Structure 1
Amino acid sequence: MAFQNTQTPPGMNMPETNQGVFSSTITDTSLSEALITLRKRKWVLIWAILASLVYGIFRAETQPRMFASFGRIQVRSGASNEYRLSAVQGFNTDTTTKMMTEIEILKSDSLMLTVARDMDLANNPAFLEKKGPVPHVSLDDPAVRQATIHRLQSFLQVTLVPKTDIISIGYSSLDPKLSADIANKVISTYIQRSYETRFASTQRVSEWMEGQLDDLKQKVENSQERMMDLQKQLGILGFDPNHNQISTSLEDLSRAAGQAELARIIAEARYRVLSGMDPNSIEGSIETTPGTAATELTQLRAQAATDKANYAQLEANLGPNHPQAKAVKAQIDELDKEIKDEESRLLLQAKSSYIVAQANEKQTTAALDQQKADAYKLRDDLVEYTLRQREYESERNLYDGLLQRLRTASVQAGLESLEIDVVDQALPPANPVLKPQSTIILTALAFGLLGGIAIAFLMESLDTGLRSIAEIESVTELPSLAIIPRGRRSSAEQAGHLTTAQRNISVLTQPKSQFAEAFRSLRTSLLLSTAGHPPKFILLTSATPSEGKTTTASNLATILAQRDTRVLLIDGDLRRPNIHHRFGLNGKTGLTTVLTGATTLEGTVQNVPEIPNLDILPSGPVPPFPTEMLGSETMEELLKRCGDIYTHVVLDSPPILSVTDGVILARMMDAVVLVVRHGKSSKHVVRRARDLLLRSGAPITGIVLNAVDLNSPEYYGYYGYSGYSYSSVDSEGWESQATAGTGDRKGGRG
């Protein structure tokens, strides 16, 4: 504190918890917390249960006497399954799916509309549950149609008998005959609809298939004609594409080409051998001319050799000029010429044979190449032929299968009506169907209890008032210094022989009560709130008016003065002073007169006879500018002087959210206590007040929760007095003590 060297500066003497380190969050969501909430909102539960009980009794006594009539049908697959088309074979699916589908059809709008039209239910008083004639309406009106269908569906019960193919169809109404009639009409309409829809579906499939058959038949005929034309074009015999003229010619040409190539090779070899040989050895090398005698040239050579031998003999015996020798010589010359001519002929003959064989080979090869090209084309044509043949066979098979199914569909159309059998017709019931009254009442009670619990928790979540210590600590992040219970007047106070201070300051008349013990706890918390020394300047403020800060300041100053200390209580609320009313003092002079210099501190403070160690400095006359007066240097000097005289100085200030006086005073204090009234202050208001004090640098010590009902679920047995109490106050009767300027206080507000 700036007023004494022994004190720390403002904002520096706050405990660590006041610097924002302290944090308490509500994490307990156990069953006990829920029970506390329900106990706190017990009247909500009681009223909810009572309302549900009354409603349940009313519903049980006034429930309508409804007559329910039931009929049963069997939905079976029937003998027609073997003739069914796979496209419409719906009953081969899962049985549960089939039965649920039929149940939805029974409750469909179209079926209900047909029943309503046939029975004229829109104009039936019994169906509408009206007495006397009703105005005539038409189902063509959308509103009438919708209302009629909705009413039919509401009272119609369609259920599946477990583990069977039987469906139970019932209807409830006030008229037993009408219930039976509607149930039977629903059954008959459903059977008729089932027959018509299935027959129409089969007919549509048949008509579509007939159209497809005509197109398919034309396609089959066209495919067959194209295949036959291509077969003729390819020269295929019958339907065997492996034997045709082109393949036969190709085989013959292949053989001829091989033979021609062989003949050319032989002729070429013969010609080349003959052309390169010695003429004298031609006759002994190879066969000369195919098909002729191979000894002709040899004979000529042999005859020439014989003649030459004869000529040599004749020339030796007769001489070369002998006519006989000349004749032999001439014959020899003729033979030589013939031999040369024969050799030339043989060579020319071999060359001619070679040329012929070569030409034959070329022609045969060319014919073979052409035939191969034709064969390749034939191969492509055969592929197309195979595709055409497959197309023809596929379309023919599809046509035959579709024709067979079309004939089957004609049989199936006449068998669909056998799928549904009526097991039991609905009969008018003899007695109405009533729910047990106990069931209705218990159901209403259960819903009422659940609704009450929901409303209780909803009200708890919407309640922004701060009621529990954990909740306040979580919102403000400040420690709780004490819980002040709601004050109650004693029998002595009610007697009227007490002084004003004794009537208003409860700790004087009830020193052993829970109320007094709470202030002693607050005193202890404050004295231990700062390290090393107790706080000298203590400010009590609140976020809004009427939270009990004046009551708290008065009783706290009284408790502090009961020790061997001198305590000064200053009324810092210069706008609505109330301290002097609490102690029955004169308020004409006080803080304002001291600050203005009109009076001195010693001449202005007033003493309370009941509390010798307590001096009171009232507010004095209301000044025109309270804020400037409280924030002046004169105020600081006055506080410093008070600190030199008194052990503790307790100030009561205005609400900090209403005016800024409390914020200005808080900066000059050693400890600031924020008073929060139980159930009145909201979370946002308290958090806003805390933020203002923190931003101003005020040393906030903690919070005081005021006017707590210790019998409430959150604080039941909080002080442990349920089994332990002071004997002097056991028999005292208590009643609510006003905590903020009411009753006998003249306009004061705390």
Structure 2
Amino acid sequence: MNVERTLDEKVRNNRKLIEPRGAQTAPLMLQQPVEDDEIDLLQVVRTLWRGKLWIAFTTLVAILIAGYYVFVAAVPVYTAESYVALDSRQGQVVDFENVISGLSGDQATINTELEVLKSRGLTRKLVNELNLVEDPEFNSRLLEEPGFSLGTLQAWVRGMIAGEQEVAPPPTPEIVLEEVVTAVKEKINVSNIRNSYVFKISVTTEDPEKSAKIANTLADLYIVNQLDVKFDATRKATDWLAERVALLERDLAEAETAVKDFNARTELVSPEALEALNRQAKDTRDRIAILKSNLATQEAQLARLEQAWESKDRAAMAEVAAEIGGDRAPTPTMSDRVFQTRYLQLMNSTKAAVARSRSQIESLSAAVAQIEEQIKMQSQDLVQLEQLTRKAEALRSVYEYFLNRLQETSAQQGIQQADSRVLSEAVIPTVPSAPKKARIFALAAILGMMLGAAFVLLREFTNRTVRTADDLENLTRLPVLGQVPMIPGGKRRGQIEYLAAKPESAGAEAIRNLRTSILYSNVDQPPQVVMLTSSIPGEGKTTLSIALAQSFAGLNKRVLLIEGDMRRQAFKRYFQDQHDGGGLLSVLTGRQSLTEAVQKSGLVGADLLRAEKTSVNAADVFASDRFSELIAEARASYDIVIIDTPPVLVVPDARTIAQVADALVFSVKWDSTEQDQIVDAIRMFESVNIRPTGLVLNMINRKGMKKYGYGGKYGAYARYGAKYYKN
């Protein structure tokens, strides 16, 4: 038979047989808390306050660890400080800036000097000066090998894996020295005091006298190093200048000798003589120009005379001769013989003048060429002489300059000054600089509180169980009918015996509070059939059912306790008496009546109707009409009927039985059942139109509540209950 179809039919049949009661109201609208990204600070504070014992514990542990470190493990160290001031002058006694000028005092210079103080070279000098290679604090090779250490363990593991390994050769003195230098550098801290030219040298070691000595020695070595650098620079400059002066002296002598030799092998050359030659050449060229002009005139006159002669025209010849010869020209009145003679004389004299002019021009041109050749040669000689002279003069200037610098540098070697001075020497400290006890304890306390708070918050925010009634109500939007603590007496029967023997105990009072909440859950129609269930097994619902039946029986009511879990049949673990009679299945099949099947329980004071094994599915049995008739019969015979049902997330029996119940009490195990399981279980009831009457926060551990900080929040097991309960 299909379980779900049977369940639907059972719902319709029940509405005909009985009036719907509290467990059959409108569908449950399960409301989940709206999640948001905001953090409730008040909730965080409350969580931290509840976890104050954990926070106090972690704080105490952190303080104890800090105390062990401060007083036992930590080695006290002492810090000594010396101060060095940087002189920012710009010059020295003798002004030779490239060699001995003071520091400028700008930030770059300060940073450079700071790095010099931190340099390995200066630290190496310090190590050699104080022989720190022989100090075990800096040379770990001088310490005795411990019987067990991380290094020996690593070596043993490597030996086990790789077999025997070659023994490493002993380190060289250079390696040991560099290791010590590195160790010493780690103990030294050099800093520049802000907005000043002062350097602070801090040295931290295990010996106060050693710290002061190292700080003072480093300051002295720094100043000596400055002087050494200057002495070395001056010496190098002197050597270089001396070598340079010797070379310049040789070059100067060679240049002056070249000038003398040149003057000796050349004619006397001077700018004035060269200028006279230039004027002579100019005058000669001017004369040549005049002669050339006269020659042109004479040649033109000769050409006219010859042309007229060839024309045989006496009048033309007389005219030309008159223009050229003047008084020497023939006249027309002369006889032909005299005229021709005079004309030829004039023409010959003109030819002679032309030849004379040409001869003069040629001689003057030759003279000009000779003068120009002299000018060219003397100009070249003069230029070469001037070059040799200038070279000699330049070499003399350079020689004199370097000679003066050599004399200045030689004089400077005796008047060098350092660019720094010791402003304050280190004093031997009397109080250790570390460990700083107050600071360590304060930090340990803060760290302990932070770790404790983180643990409390992490535990709280990762918790998916339920610890308070408020959390349960906020999760399900259902009322919490009761809060039942963990009942002493062992398990199962021992707990019921404890409740019977201790009627004024906290557990018994919690059961009575639950009984009262159930009775008044519906004032108009008080529930008569009460079923108890849970999400999963192990949430104490069976113990709660028996205890509730025992409590109702204490009111002199007729109580029937039905074992609705036909699969597990847990009642046999509570009731040790042998049960050979029938049970629930016998009544449903008609083999026995209800009166014949029930069993009287002296421990509980109620009638028991136990479950029996069956081959039929239990859900189908509870969905039958006969089970509804049985409940109707029980209503008529008993004041209260309590049904212990299986977990709702495991089997559908509880949802089937809920159709005939007046009240559905849902048990939730404290700090065990996950919220998702609770929500899923209630949604299972919602799917069949069942609304639980309320919930019970069950099996609450009082010690656990104190551990989580909830010790004073619940009435039945708070610190005030000691005045009312007798446990």
TM-score, structure 2 normalization: 0.55
Q: Counterpart in 2 of 1:608?
A: 601
Gaps of 5+ in 1: 201-410, 494-499, 735-750
CA distance in 1, matches of 2:689, 2:89: 92
**Given the alignment of the two structures, is residue 35 of structure 1 paired with residue 46 of structure 2, yes or no?**
no
Distance 1:424 1:630, change over 3 A: same
What is the Cα-based RMSD across aligned positions, in Å? 5.1
Deviations 1:671-720 (A, max 9, x none): 32221222222333333333333334432222211122457341426328
CA distance in 2, matches of 1:48, 1:159: 36
Distance 1:98 1:659, change over 3 A: farther
Kept in 2, the 8 Å contact 1:570–1:616? The answer is yes
CA distance in 1, matches of 2:695, 2:65: 46
Kept in 1, the 8 Å contact 2:191–2:199? The answer is yes
Q: Counterpart in 1 of 2:123?
A: 115
CA distance in 2, matches of 1:503, 1:539: 20
Q: Counterpart in 2 of 1:541?
A: 533
Distance 1:33 1:456, change over 3 A: closer
Q: Alpha-carbon deviation of 1:74?
A: 2.2
Amino acid at match of 1:675: S
Amino acid at match of 1:568: L
Among 52, 67, 87, the residue aligned to 2:63: 52
Q: Counterpart in 1 of 2:570?
A: 578
Amino acid at match of 1:648: I
Amino acid at match of 1:115: T
Among 16, 29, 37, the residue aligned to 1:19: 29
- Secondary structure of the equivalent of 1:69? strand
**Given the alignment of the two structures, is residue 552 of structure 1 paired with residue 522 of structure 2, yes or no?**
no
Kept in 2, the 8 Å contact 1:572–1:654? The answer is yes
1:346-385 pair list within 5 angstroms: none
1:144-543 pair list within 5 angstroms: 154-159=186-191, 165-174=197-206, 179=211, 183=215, 420-425=420-425, 433=433, 435=435, 440=440, 444-488=444-488, 504=496, 506-530=498-522, 532-543=524-535
Distance 1:92 1:700, change over 3 A: same
Kept in 1, the 8 Å contact 2:499–2:507? The answer is yes
CA distance in 1, matches of 2:678, 2:143: 67
Q: Alpha-carbon deviation of 1:565?
A: 4.6
Amino acid at match of 1:166: V
Distance 1:48 1:478, change over 3 A: same
1:637-648 pair list within 5 angstroms: 637-648=629-640
Amino acid at match of 2:715: Y
Q: Alpha-carbon deviation of 1:551?
A: 1.2
Q: Counterpart in 2 of 1:678?
A: 670
Among 649, 658, 666, the residue aligned to 1:657: 649
**Given the alignment of the two structures, is residue 704 of structure 1 paired with residue 699 of structure 2, yes or no?**
no
Kept in 1, the 8 Å contact 2:114–2:191? The answer is no
Distance 1:11 1:436, change over 3 A: closer
Deviations 1:217-241 (A, max 9, x none): xxxxxxxxxxxxxxxxxxxxxxxxx
Amino acid at match of 2:203: Y
CA distance in 1, matches of 2:122, 2:557: 98
Q: Alpha-carbon deviation of 1:571?
A: 0.9
Q: Counterpart in 2 of 1:248?
A: none
CA distance in 2, matches of 1:651, 1:663: 12
Q: How many residues align?
A: 493
Q: Alpha-carbon deviation of 1:657?
A: 3.4
Kept in 2, the 8 Å contact 1:48–1:448? The answer is yes
TM-score, structure 1 normalization: 0.53
Q: Alpha-carbon deviation of 1:624?
A: 6.9
Distance 1:610 1:487, change over 3 A: closer
Q: Alpha-carbon deviation of 1:555?
A: 1.5
Q: Alpha-carbon deviation of 1:66?
A: 2.5
Amino acid at match of 1:638: L
Q: Alpha-carbon deviation of 1:536?
A: 3.5
Amino acid at match of 2:64: L
- Secondary structure of the equivalent of 2:574? helix
Distance 1:670 1:189, change over 3 A: farther
Which deviates further from its counterpart, 566-575 or 431-440? 431-440
Gaps of 5+ in 2: 1-10, 146-168, 234-408
Q: Counterpart in 2 of 1:292?
A: none
- Secondary structure of the equivalent of 1:516? helix
Q: Counterpart in 2 of 1:718?
A: 714
CA distance in 2, matches of 1:477, 1:417: 90
CA distance in 2, matches of 1:546, 1:432: 62
Q: Alpha-carbon deviation of 1:616?
A: 1.4
CA distance in 2, matches of 1:160, 1:439: 26
Work out the percentage of aligned pairs sharing the same amino acid. Answer: 23
Kept in 2, the 8 Å contact 1:13–1:530? The answer is no
Among 8, 18, 21, the residue aligned to 2:20: 8
